[in-house]
């Protein structure tokens, strides 16, 4: 189980992802100092304490695929939000070549 300080790092990093960009769970884990903790990043996103300032919908799988989302009607809502922000999406995948956040 990850510490509260890990989650705090994750939330701080995710809050910096700009509109129109996405980052992978793996990238967030690496930036938080725990490169093998992609699943823990997913847990942090699931328990997001403030969706207005921590845009968890901008975090996707390493292949660009949409993963769990609890707001609205789930992944459909996530895709709609990302498209509205200008993220290039084909099917249920963000096109990382054009939409990945460059850290």
For the annotated catalytic residues, the residue numbers are: 56
d(CA 66, CA 3): 25
d(CA 94, CA 21): 9
Torsions phi, psi for 94 (to 5 deg): -75, 135
Per the CB < 8 A criterion, the answer to whether 28 and 14 are in contact is yes
H/E stretch holding 93: strand 93-94
């Amino acid at each position: 189980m990850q510490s509260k300080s890990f989650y705090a790092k994750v939330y701080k990093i995710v809050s910096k992802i700009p509109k129109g960009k996405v980052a992978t769970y793996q990238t967030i884990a690496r930036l938080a100092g725990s490169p093998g903790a992609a699943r823990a990043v997913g847990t942090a996103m699931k328990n997001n304490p403030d969706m207005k300032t921590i845009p968890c919908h901008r975090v996707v799988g390493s292949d660009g695929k949409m993963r769990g989302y609890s707001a609205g009607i789930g992944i459909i809502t996530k895709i709609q939000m990302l498209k509205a922000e200008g993220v290039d999406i084909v099917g249920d995948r963000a096109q990382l070549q054009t939409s990945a956040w460059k850290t």
